[in-house]
A and B are shown apart, each in its own frame.
Chain A
Amino acid sequence: MALVSLTNVSKTYPPAERGGAQVVAVDDVTLDIEAGDVFGIIGYSGAGKSTLVRLVNALEPATSGRITVDGRDLTVMPERELRGIRLGIGMIFQQFNLFGAKTVWQNIAYPLKVAGASKAEIAARVAELLDFVGLADKARNYPDQLSGGQKQRVGIARALATSPRLLLADEATSALDPETTQEVLALLKRVNREFGVTIIVITHEMDVIQSIATKVAVMDGGRVIEHGDVFDVFSDPQNPSSRRFVSTVVKGVPSPAELDVLRERHEGRIVTISFRDGDVSQASVFLELAAAGLEFELVYGGINDIQGRAFGHLTLAIRGADAAIDPALARIAERVDVTEVP
């Protein structure tokens, strides 16, 4: 059974002003998140992803639908019981939200105190976590003495203190520079692999999904418009909005403006060939074109690697007689996707 299961979940807020329309932040979302996954939820700001993740640890109550975590239905639980559930779910934030008046050590110890751990347990666990995030020497420092990356590492240690099975990361890297982002993502990957913690990653940056997620859901206007394996969504996005996100990291199909430039620079017919892992090798495509005596040039594209599987789009300018090109393309199209750009 899924670790987190959302069934027809909606969240609406009352209108901001009298007589206004109510705000639908999450609209009829059904989603299963399996234990062990790094589940990415991507969308533009206002797409409802932050609200969605707050429904999972019941920081916000759902308006309708059913939410279960570990088989327990949150939507019928009284607040006091929900606190127990939250103890078992870690959360990290874009702005880190560390307690500024507490030291790094005290920050990480806080959830353990809430959980009622003994002093000895707290000391041992905090030391272990400080070690894990590589901040053992900062235990006595205050958050405002740390860099952004260090703050988020404290946030991660704090979120992991009670050994939760689920970690919610709400735009956890959006306030960090690219290098620090990679550091934090690598740490999250370790959390997933070494401790088997399931992670839900909320982000508007596709490269975050590309780096760590195994599954992805694309949100737009409060709805999940597409979800699946990251490889599938990246290599073959079905929805225009997903396609826009994918295009931010995958150098694939040239945009109309880029096509104009390409056509100006290159003679011949312009064709995009899309490869997917295991479909067919590039070599066989090139051999086919060569066998037909065609001259071709690679003008655009790239091969992407998602979790060890490759896919990509190559755009070729092919010169030669149509009579030779057409049958060659037909033969290639039997094995891979071929799109002729008019």
Chain B
Amino acid sequence: MDRLFELQGEFWTAAVETLYMVGLTLLIGGTAGLLLGVVLYTTRPGSLLSNGAIYNVVNVVINFFRPIPFIIFIAAVQPLSRLVIGTGIGNNALIFALSLAASFAIARIVEQNLLTVSPGVIEAARSMGAGPLRILSTVVVPEALGPLILGYTFVLVAIVDMTAVAGLIGGGGLGTFAQVYGYRQFEPVITWAAVLLIVVFVQGVQFLGNWLARKVLRR
């Protein structure tokens, strides 16, 4: 307990780092994933702007990267990370790798949720003379908003999980904190303090997601 007290500063710094990594990943990966998912949805055969070539390319790319375990993925994209953001280590390098991985996962979730929108509703919008982009933004996405929020909540929890390996490439956050000060120094109290904070954080996110989705779905 005393040790935890001593490490208070490091603990809160780690917590902020985790929030920073999660937040930025959600912003970047979430946006990229939304775009990719919408592209998948709209270009799929029979959809609003069906285009077999684009659909197949995006589909194959996503299927290629998705199964790579994240811990390997970080190492694999390190050269790319150096090229794009100028560094292959630290929190920002983790955000880069994680955003990439998350955008592929989110793309699938977005695609799947958009597909639940009834074709009849889309047909109704078409029958009113609405064009594909208008239908996408004013019908398809709003109709799927509830499940989309739940999907993002699910991904967010997974992102929190994955930020914990930041230590592997010299990053910080609660995962690193638990490893360095808890596990390696035989201080289970420290480890559990990190665990508890993450649990609280995840619960909070889940609660917020459920609440928002319920508000959108009005049930």
Contact = CB atoms under 8 A, between A and B. Distances in A.
Contacts of A83: 129-131
B129 A84 contact: yes
A90 B129 CA distance: 10
Interface string A86-122: 1101110101011111100000001101110000000
A95 to B, nearest CB: 5
Q: Which of B123, B127, B134, B142 has the most CB of A within 10 A?
A: B127
A86 B134 contact: no
Nearest to A91: B127
B142 A101 contact: yes
B128 A110 contact: yes
Main secondary structure, interface of A, reads mixed
A41 B148 CA distance: 40
A142 interface: yes
A192 interface: no
Contacts of A102: 142
Contact of A110 (B123, B125, B143, B218): B125
A111 B125 CA distance: 8
A324 interface: no
Contacts of A333: none
Contact of A142 (B126, B127, B142, B218): B218
Contacts of B143: 99-101
A298 interface: no
A175 to B, nearest CB: 12
A304 interface: no
Given A97-B120, A97-B124, A115 B129 contact: yes
B123 A87 contact: no
A51 interface: no
A23 interface: no
Contacts of B128: 86-87, 91, 110-111, 114, 158, 162
Interface string A53-84: 00001010000000000000000000010011
Given A59-B126, A59-B127, A114-B128, 4 more contacts: A99-B139, A110-B128, A114-B129, A158-B128
30 contacts: A59-B126, A59-B127, A80-B131, A83-B129, A90-B127, A91-B124, A91-B128, A93-B124, A95-B118, A97-B118, A97-B121, A97-B123, A98-B121, A98-B124, A99-B121, A99-B124, A99-B125, A101-B142, A101-B143, A101-B145, A101-B216, A110-B128, A110-B130, A110-B138, A111-B128, A111-B129, A113-B138, A114-B128, A115-B129, A144-B218
